[in-house]
Structure 1
Amino acid sequence: MTELVDAQGLCVLGDPGAAQLVLSHDRGIVWGHMFRRDDNARVTEYTSSGIAAIPAADLMSSYWGGYVAIRVFDDRIEVVRDPSGLVACYYAEIDGVHIVTSRPDLLFAHGLFEPDIDWTIVAQSLVYRDFRPARTALRGISEVLPGVALDIRDHGATSRCVWSPWWFAGREAQITDRAEGVRRLRAVAMATLDAWGQCFERPLIEISGGLDSSIVAAGLRPGSPAAQCVTFGPAAGDASELPWARAAAEHLGYDLIELVADAATVDVGHSDAHNLPRPCARAFSQALDRPLQALAQSLGADAFLGGGGGDSMFCLTHSALPVIDRLREEGIGRGVFETAGDIAQLTRTNIWKVLAFAIRRGLAAGSHMPKPMTNAFLARHARDALPWPEGNPWIAAPDGTPPAKRKHVWSIIGIQNQLEGYGREAIAPFLSPLMSQPIAEICIAIPSWHWCAGGNNRSVAREAFRPALPAAVIDRRTKVSFSSLAYRMIRANLRAMRDMLLEGSLARQHLLHHDRVVRVLEGPLADAEALPELMALVEVEAWLRHWEDRSSQRPR
């Protein structure tokens, strides 16, 4: 750690080799990558003169990136996290000293905090899963959420929202002409991805042959000529995505490295989110992560980039809700029947069933809050008495937001919980550039019914990138999973999972429905819907085990 800023009331320590920009006259620091909105050029010490003093809202409208900006004002120190959430930011107060960090584990490593589990937040991570509160599951540590500014003054700290996805979901912000939406998405996404490509010398682009990762690869190509693509071949029993990955790489002129996921590397007792103050890692991802780590080290890769968040950003849906959105906007007419036909084609049903569903949903009162996820293995009392996550200004939808657009925005909010907690982040940054603010603003502003036009999911993105990608990728409608590999991983670890769940912390806190857990663990594992819920418990238990072990090892 090196001292980077030493100003009145502010001391910043960090790695001088990491992406960062010290503001003139020690007025603060921008940690991460920041780009100008007008030309997408990366901000440097020679172009940063306006950053130190402008209001946070103007910072949001004039710049974008993956950053945390810490700025010194006469009456406060302000911490702003950009809307993408690509750079972590946590906050704690110790004896009147305010600490902001991207590495909250260091607070415990240096003895500033003792690990103390907040069981309410742990339960919320299972019930509300991807809707994060500002509080974390370690007491005393809070998250500065994306799009939020933290104002630190002598008498304490307060937070305020300086960017919200809902600002682009209202009627006045909508891009009503579909062709205009296609054109603007293409221009914005290509410029945004090109800017990211210029930040790294040897990035590793993770592609599956699906639409989202292929779009990232296409956009990064101009600014990142030394990038290489990597994909995974199928495990025994799983379908292969190699034909599409190869087609995308060849079309774009990338070298493609083909790896094989290794279920034997998965340790269900280990959480790759062990250094984070909330459980968010997926155990199965270790099977992909470990080969990627080895490859990155051999190549000297300086970043991992992928299509994470694309399904959410590009409004993947199998719902009739876009029919309701269009009905509310245009009234009964040809457009409503056109969208109903698109949904019928997409979901392989008939238009009358789609219209009937839309009418029933349209008559029902809509909620300002998203529907909580269910986990059948949680004890009922743990679910029923649980409060909603607090401190996240994005969760509640404003009055008048149509239902499909609410679901679109909630999907974007929720996916941020799945874009961290990977082991390879210890080697190089892992970025999901489709989460970038300019792309989010355009995607949210495109009406929901445009995204399913022609009976095609993510229709606007397909048309926007049709000139850049092979038809086989653009027109692909299938998705491939690693279900056979995941099933074998669960089978191989069944005894360890049983011990973790029946004798672990969640059980001791009476958060589990013991009999249901036992029935599934002792059964044929045939319930495909139950297995992800079971694994969610295992992953939380692994995270809890790390922090409880860490607490027990500290000298008393």
Structure 2
Amino acid sequence: MPAPQPRHGRHARFPWPHADRRHGRTIAVCRTLLGAMRKSCGERPARTHRRFQAHPGAMTAPAYVMTFDEAAGNPPPTVEQSPASLTFARSLGGLHIRATREHVIAVGDHGIIIGHLFTRTEPSRRVTELAGHEADAIARSAGAGLISRYWGGYIAVLRTAEGEIRIIRDPSGTIPAYWYRQRDRVVILPELIPRWNDRWRLNADALVIHLWAPHLLGRRTCLAGLNELLPGEALCLKGRDIAVNALWSPWKHVPDRNRIAAVEPALLHTAITDTLRSWGNCFPSVLLGISGGLDSTIVSAGLAGSATALHGLTMVAPGPGGDETTYARQVADAFPMSWVSSAYELEDVDSTAPVVPHVPRPFLAHYVQAIVHARSRIGAEQRIDAYFSGNGGDNVFCLMRSATPLVDRFMARSSLMEMRRTLSDIATLTQAGMSAILRSAVARWLSQGKRKDGSGDARFLNSARLARARAACGSHPWLETPAGKLPGAIAHVRMLARAHGNDGFHSRWTEPPSVAPLLAQPIVERCLAVPSWEWIAGGRDRAAVRDAFSGHIPEALLGRRSKGGPGGFVERIYRRNEATVLSLLRDGILREQGIIEDIGRTLARRQGNAIDPLVPQRLLALAAAECWARQWGAT
């Protein structure tokens, strides 16, 4: 049965089954009036952190647990104790697999794919079954053909002709993959299982790096012995040998400085809209976070061409820039969807609990808890099959405000006229003077090869401990720059590395999947080919994608430069929980492990000086890490 067409408009709410438009609007008006009455009377809803049940029939995320045991026998306890949703079982050359049955695609006798798969054609085609010759081709290539001829959000398992087992994570990183060695076994899973938590211990060196610059950890997590399989990588298992091979790297899609060509806006538009449409067609209904910013508006436009019933959610925070409903309403009016705004609620935030408990690196933003509660309330009354967002858009679309594009022009031997145009574009974008831009460009050019790990946020971190951790921890492999690449491309790949590592806020065992479609392989590869000066053309950030969607989204949204955010809500969280936050940081694991300074003494030294308005946000982030760390205990 086709999904019902969603309503949209200025006051639309999520449609109840069999409810007509007037009834839905009446419900919306009544709820609005009731909320206003409560606010005027000072009534506050009761604080609750209960778990909402997903709507009956809603999809759950692709999930799995795998254990590799060379002494192939009965599945080990780690597989038998897997979550109940994993009803598919198969053994392959010593690898025991449990997975969500509805997400499994057989690769002949060679293995399986778990998740969503599409062809690399335009238009893309959803693949739910592979023909014999297609499966054989994937197996012969040891997975390389899967990367080159398909895209999607998947984990693939293949047995090669040499008897090696390969677990492959797709380049978008949609489905997480973590692995660890347990005696003579290797366990691979997408998220931590609560009843196994007693086996983990904190990796303090990794945690201090995470608090300094999260994207630098690469394959390491903040739990000892637990490793991440990065997007595009394959975990190769044979006997007791373990290796990690990169089947995909962003650098393979970045042109050398002497092979740069302009990218046609129409081609970029086609790649993005085809990818978004293909993703949307996988789900009867999608809940999309909408801010009215460029990224979420592009996702809305792409999903509007799919068969999904699209629902929009806009979170509203207090303070300047916190209420983006004016822009979000324009999105809802432009594309077929139902739409609702929801205020960030302090009652939805627990400053003494991990922001997201089931991840091996801590989420550091408490406002995420309010988003989870808002989504869950909607999911309890309305079927939601996936959570979509515009996450990663700024990174993929190379949001850059520096002199780097001018350096790229010089190194690419552009004409004097082209360099002048780019200089003017940077001046318009940054409002900086020409001489200041030129000085910055010269400094950037002279610093080539000197930038290793970039910079991070060292506030309140123990400087000696941070220095030791930086020396001990390896870096992200994408930050190892090949020769012949321009500084703008290097910055772009760094942005892409920062975009990953967000596994979603909801448990894959029981909740719908979280999808960041702008990180999809076809979009990323197309955008990596765009030179930095095209991203700032005309003095506009993300100019190439703005040009690609000119005429396809409302002009007021296409040209929007402002950005909102939950900063006002974060400030309120801190004011309400300041005593708790400071208590957590004075006597917690972070202090015990020497990760942070003496917070009380540091704040006392700053009294009488101008206080950085971002200090409360930083202290909340450290408190979030403290609460997460207390799940695991000391190193």
Q: Would the TM-score normalized by the shorter structure come out above 0.5?
A: yes
- Bigger shift: 522-531 or 92-101? 522-531
Give yes or no for the alignment of 1:101 onto 2:189. Answer: yes
- Match for residue 227 of structure 2? 142
Q: Which amino acid aligns with 1:534?
A: L
Q: Which amino acid aligns with 2:158?
A: R
Q: Aligned partners of 2:604, 2:154: CA distance in 1, in Å?
A: 46
- Match for residue 186 of structure 1? 269
Contact 1:280 1:421 in 2 (8 A): no
Q: Aligned partners of 2:91, 2:597: CA distance in 1, in Å?
A: 53
Give yes or no for the alignment of 1:325 onto 2:412. Answer: no
- Match for residue 579 of structure 2? 495
Q: Aligned partners of 2:403, 2:527: CA distance in 1, in Å?
A: 19
Give yes or no for the alignment of 1:200 onto 2:288. Answer: no
Describe the SS at the equivalent of 1:83: coil
Contact 1:208 1:242 in 2 (8 A): yes
Return closer, same or farther for 1:400/1:524 CA change in 2, 3 Å cut-off.
Answer: same
Q: Aligned partners of 1:330, 1:143: CA distance in 2, in Å?
A: 40
Query: TM-score normalised to the size of structure 2?
Result: 0.81
Describe the SS at the equivalent of 2:115: strand
Contact 1:161 1:393 in 2 (8 A): no
Residue 421 of structure 1 deviates from its aligned partner by: 4.6
Deviations 1:326-381 (A, max 9, x none): 11112461111111111111111222221221122212333353313022201110
Return closer, same or farther for 1:173/1:35 CA change in 2, 3 Å cut-off.
Answer: farther
Residue 225 of structure 1 deviates from its aligned partner by: 3.9
Q: Aligned partners of 1:115, 1:525: CA distance in 2, in Å?
A: 41
Return closer, same or farther for 1:520/1:233 CA change in 2, 3 Å cut-off.
Answer: farther
- Match for residue 177 of structure 1? 262
- Match for residue 51 of structure 1? 138
- Match for residue 554 of structure 1? none
Match of 1:481 among 555, 561, 565: 565
- Bigger shift: 366-375 or 321-330? 366-375
- Match for residue 158 of structure 1? 243
Describe the SS at the equivalent of 2:216: coil
- Match for residue 441 of structure 1? 525
- Match for residue 77 of structure 1? 165
In the TM superposition, 1:104-119 aligns within 5 A as: 105-106=192-193, 109-110=195-196, 114-119=199-204
Residue 155 of structure 1 deviates from its aligned partner by: 2.5
Describe the SS at the equivalent of 1:394: helix
- Match for residue 63 of structure 1? 150
Q: Aligned partners of 1:521, 1:267: CA distance in 2, in Å?
A: 28
- Bigger shift: 49-58 or 341-350? 49-58
Describe the SS at the equivalent of 1:258: strand
Residue 87 of structure 1 deviates from its aligned partner by: 0.4
Contact 1:148 1:162 in 2 (8 A): yes
Contact 1:366 1:403 in 2 (8 A): no
Q: Which amino acid aligns with 1:9?
A: G
Residue 171 of structure 1 deviates from its aligned partner by: 2.0
Q: Aligned partners of 2:432, 2:470: CA distance in 1, in Å?
A: 38
Q: Aligned partners of 1:511, 1:393: CA distance in 2, in Å?
A: 25
Residue 456 of structure 1 deviates from its aligned partner by: 0.3
Contact 2:116 2:152 in 1 (8 A): yes
Describe the SS at the equivalent of 2:372: helix
Q: Aligned partners of 2:111, 2:524: CA distance in 1, in Å?
A: 27
Return closer, same or farther for 1:174/1:424 CA change in 2, 3 Å cut-off.
Answer: farther
Deviations 1:426-451 (A, max 9, x none): 52111100001111111111000000
Give yes or no for the alignment of 1:15 onto 2:100. Answer: yes
Deviations 1:194-216 (A, max 9, x none): 11001111111111100000101
- Bigger shift: 474-483 or 532-541? 532-541
Deviations 1:451-506 (A, max 9, x none): 00000000011111122210010011111122221111111010110111011001
Q: Which amino acid aligns with 2:631?
A: H
Match of 1:127 among 207, 212, 217: 212
- Match for residue 365 of structure 2? 282
- Match for residue 528 of structure 1? 613
- Bigger shift: 440-449 or 66-75? 66-75
Structure 2, unmatched stretches of 5+, are: 1-85
In the TM superposition, 1:240-251 aligns within 5 A as: 240-251=323-334
- Bigger shift: 189-198 or 280-289? 280-289
Return closer, same or farther for 1:529/1:334 CA change in 2, 3 Å cut-off.
Answer: farther
Q: Aligned partners of 1:46, 1:448: CA distance in 2, in Å?
A: 39
Q: Which amino acid aligns with 1:163?
A: W
Larger radius of gyration: 2
Deviations 1:232-268 (A, max 9, x none): 2343555431121111121112221221111231112
Q: Aligned partners of 1:238, 1:167: CA distance in 2, in Å?
A: 39
Return closer, same or farther for 1:457/1:174 CA change in 2, 3 Å cut-off.
Answer: farther
Return closer, same or farther for 1:190/1:237 CA change in 2, 3 Å cut-off.
Answer: closer
Deviations 1:285-313 (A, max 9, x none): 21222112111221120100010000011
Describe the SS at the equivalent of 1:420: coil
In the TM superposition, 1:243-282 aligns within 5 A as: 243-282=326-365
Q: Which amino acid aligns with 2:588?
A: G
Return closer, same or farther for 1:120/1:234 CA change in 2, 3 Å cut-off.
Answer: closer
Q: Aligned partners of 1:20, 1:325: CA distance in 2, in Å?
A: 45
Describe the SS at the equivalent of 1:131: helix
**Number of residue pairs matched?**
542
Describe the SS at the equivalent of 1:163: coil
Q: Which amino acid aligns with 1:308?
A: N
Residue 543 of structure 1 deviates from its aligned partner by: 0.8
Residue 160 of structure 1 deviates from its aligned partner by: 1.1
Q: Aligned partners of 1:304, 1:3: CA distance in 2, in Å?
A: 24
Contact 2:180 2:225 in 1 (8 A): yes
- Bigger shift: 4-13 or 165-174? 165-174
Q: Percent identity?
A: 29
Return closer, same or farther for 1:442/1:453 CA change in 2, 3 Å cut-off.
Answer: same
Q: Which amino acid aligns with 2:219?
A: A
- Bigger shift: 238-247 or 362-371? 362-371
Query: TM-score normalised to the size of structure 1?
Result: 0.92
Return closer, same or farther for 1:519/1:35 CA change in 2, 3 Å cut-off.
Answer: farther
Q: Aligned partners of 2:433, 2:618: CA distance in 1, in Å?
A: 32
Return closer, same or farther for 1:225/1:162 CA change in 2, 3 Å cut-off.
Answer: closer
Match of 1:378 among 461, 468, 471: 461
- Match for residue 32 of structure 1? 115
Deviations 1:381-431 (A, max 9, x none): 0122223642742121122322222111101111212x3251476521111
- Match for residue 453 of structure 1? 537
Give yes or no for the alignment of 1:401 onto 2:489. Answer: no
Contact 1:207 1:230 in 2 (8 A): yes
Match of 2:588 among 504, 522, 539: 504
Describe the SS at the equivalent of 1:330: coil
Describe the SS at the equivalent of 1:70: strand
Contact 1:138 1:277 in 2 (8 A): yes
Contact 2:111 2:158 in 1 (8 A): yes
Return closer, same or farther for 1:78/1:476 CA change in 2, 3 Å cut-off.
Answer: same
Q: Which amino acid aligns with 1:148?
A: E
Q: Which amino acid aligns with 1:4?
A: A
Residue 152 of structure 1 deviates from its aligned partner by: 0.2
Contact 1:262 1:288 in 2 (8 A): no
Describe the SS at the equivalent of 1:365: coil
Residue 46 of structure 1 deviates from its aligned partner by: 4.2
Return closer, same or farther for 1:153/1:396 CA change in 2, 3 Å cut-off.
Answer: same
